[in-house]
Amino acid sequence: MSLELRDRFFALSAGRAPAEEIDAYRAEVDATGADPAATVDGLAVCWHPTARFKQVRFVDAERLDAGVRDLFARPVAAMPDLAAVFADPRELSYRTFENILPLDRLFADVPLDLELTGREEFAEGAHAFSLRLPAAARSALEGLDALDLYVPPLNASSRGGDRFVFHSALLAGALGAAVRDALPDAALDGFAHVNPVFRGNRFEPGDANFHSHLDTPYYDAARNHVSRYTVLLYLTGGEGDPALDLAGSGALTAIEPFTCVIFDQRYEHEGRPYRDGRKVFLRTELIFSGAGLDHDPEIGALFGKATYWTGESVFAPELARHADDYYNRVAAAHWNGLSPSASGPEPFVRKRFRGVEYVANGYDYWFPKDGLSPAECAAITLLDYFNCKVGDSAYRTLCETEVIEADGTDWIPGLLARGRGERGESPVVPFDKSALFPEPEEPETDDLPDCACPLCAGDLGATFDTSRNAEIIEHYARAQESARADIGPAPILLLGEDVLLDPDLFVVEGDRIHVLGKEALTPVAFASCFGGPPMPSADSYVATAATLEAVHVLVPPILFAEDGDCYHLKFDFFRNTWTVGHEQSTVSVPMIRPFDEEDLPEDWEDDYDDEEDEDWDDEEEEEEEAVPA
């Protein structure tokens, strides 16, 4: 049944099925529930769509658990290693919004001698070329469309067409070499490379325009890299009205197949479908070293809000247009500085998480002071921003959320004061991690024997202390050390559905909250052995006391201020001077379990060496014979 549901998804996606059939299929999916089958990139996934798992993504099949791997479809015949998974869109965070497909293997055996010829500067800083390439390379690029890896874009409300995102260092390298040969020297000052992440776009005649927009510049704070030019590589030709419009500065109406357009990202531009056929193009950027860049923290704030509204638009689709607006303002600000924000209301969300009400916009977070510490507020901010998984649920699904559009922020303290009710315990519990690691006991017995007979093992049974056996303690201490290494630097721990925070790792200093984070017998003489059951190994006595998710974050300080009865936190995740990361790992906390008679196998005598037994009997008989009657 589930396999049929899986296969029908791809059958319906491939063709132009009647709307009724698609509606019936959607209804069936909405009525289908299933547990996750695997986890990829922190996302729970299933091999078929369900009411929860609705977003199709493509991943390397190798990354799926071998036990369930074969259940996942391989819908791309040319790429049998690419498995289709269905994810819960509510679990997405900034790291997983985009499904970046690894497609380098498509170009691995293809000659990629690319050449850009016939440069025509159709507007200042906007160049059109013809791409010359070997037939095999042309064929590989043309084949991208047929792979049908498209998924609806996240900002589908503001743009038409289908899109997929892929990574190919080989293609980017070849294109980069061609760009160096083709662009004027002045345009290449500081050029580093072509972004290996490509967007594949497809528009059919009659699709909505890709409305007038600025491309969001690529920015890599660690390498001080920034994009300055957009690269469009048209894989099909056709005519549009126009096909590409650089906001009145220049336009292309007729485009030949394998035309490459490179234009300054300052241009606001609009793309329209071809009148007479499918428009397929790849987009990427030219990356430059960012020497001489200034940085305005306000841009980081806007970008943070943009990514936040992208995530929240899964729950409130009306927020997508705000995300789009913020991205455009960020892109414009990158080139021209920030313009005064357009008058009119801005979006906020009022959220309630386990009794704590707060207001957020992806950069600013307001919490009522009442009973909450700045550290607790900071922990909730991180959970929300990264949409961490709490138990089996994405954080944002655990919140009651209301979208508010309002002018200014003066109304927020009053709103939170009105919403203040009888609050129970904090939903983020301060926790002393050392409680998870009681010190090992002093050993009383040495290494475990091979055999559990009284002579070998001595006092086994009710009085045998596994917790004081040297060998078991050694395993326990090692397991503790391993768990401590992972849990120790985690500011937030998720224990089942409970959220714990390490107060020592949230350091409040002035107007900043710093969230600190990181960076396995002795020989036994046979003659003295009675031949008992085999002794279980020492590591089998080290059991799991608890399983935790350790949330590791490396984030800039969170600014905070007291605003009346509120804490106002400002979390600028995209701050330029910071390399940032976030990961969640599962850790088992060890304990030593007591000895149990059932540890000894019932059928141990079956494995007992008969020959040795006979030898023993012979010796006994000989001894008996030697004794005078």
Residues near another protein (CB under 8 A) are 425-426, 429-432, 435, 438, 441-442, 444, 459, 461-463, 465, 467-468, 495-498, 500, 545-547, 591, 593-594
Least distance to another protein from the beta carbon of 300, Å? 32
Taking the alpha carbons of 325, 326, 327, 328 in that order, is the dihedral positive or negative? positive
147, burial (CB in 10 Å: exposed 0-12, middle 13-18, buried 19+): buried
Closest contact distance (angstroms) between CB of 62 and another protein is 32
Judged by beta carbon, residue 236 or residue 467, the one nearer another protein is 467
For residue 499, the minimal CB distance to another protein (Å) is 9
What are the two backbone dihedrals, phi and then psi, of residue 609, each rounded to the nearest 5 degrees? -75, 110
Cβ proximity to another protein: between 246 and 494 the closer is: 494
Q: Judged by CB, which is closer to another protein: 102, or 430?
A: 430
Distance from C-alpha of 133 to C-alpha of 33, rounded to nearest angstrom: 49
Beta carbon nearer to another protein, 280 or 548? 548
Pick 415 or 428: Cβ nearer another protein = 428
CB-based burial, 331-356: b 16+ in 10 Å, e otherwise: bbbbeeeeeeeeeeebbbbbbbbbeb
CB of 355 to another protein, least distance (A): 13
Smallest gap from Cβ 495 to another protein, in A, equals 5
Token pair belonging to 142: 């043309």
Nearest approach in angstroms of CB 410 to another protein is 35
Closest approach of Cβ 383 to another protein, in Å? 15
Residues 6+ apart with CB under 8 A from 377: 358, 365, 367, 560, 567, 569
- Least distance in angstroms from the C-beta of 575 to another protein: 27
* Beta carbon nearer to another protein, 297 or 371: 371
Do 441 and 467 touch, CB atoms closer than 8 A? yes
Nearer to another protein, 317 or 391 (CB): 391
For residue 217, what are the CA distances in angstroms to 57, 226, 256?
25, 7, 27
Please give the single-letter amino acid code of residue 585.
S
Q: How far is the CB of 592 from another protein (least distance, A)?
A: 9
395 touches 389 (CB < 8 A): yes
Measured in degrees and rounded to the nearest 5, phi and psi for residue 375 equal -65, -40
> Which one, 10 or 431, has the nearer CB to another protein?
431
Closest distance between another protein and the C-beta of residue 385, in Å? 23
How far apart (Å, rounded) are the C-alpha atoms in residues 285 and 69? 35
Contacts of 338 (CB under 8 A, 6+ apart): 296, 298, 299, 302, 329
Over its C-alpha atoms, the chain yields an Rg (Å, rounded) of 32
Distance CA 291, CA 190 (A): 8
* Nearest-10 crossing angle of helices 297-312, 320-336: 160
Residue closer to another protein, measured from CB, 117 or 547: 547
Closer residue to another protein, CB minimum distance, 173 or 430: 430
Q: Return d(Cα 271, Cα 426) in angstroms, integer.
A: 50
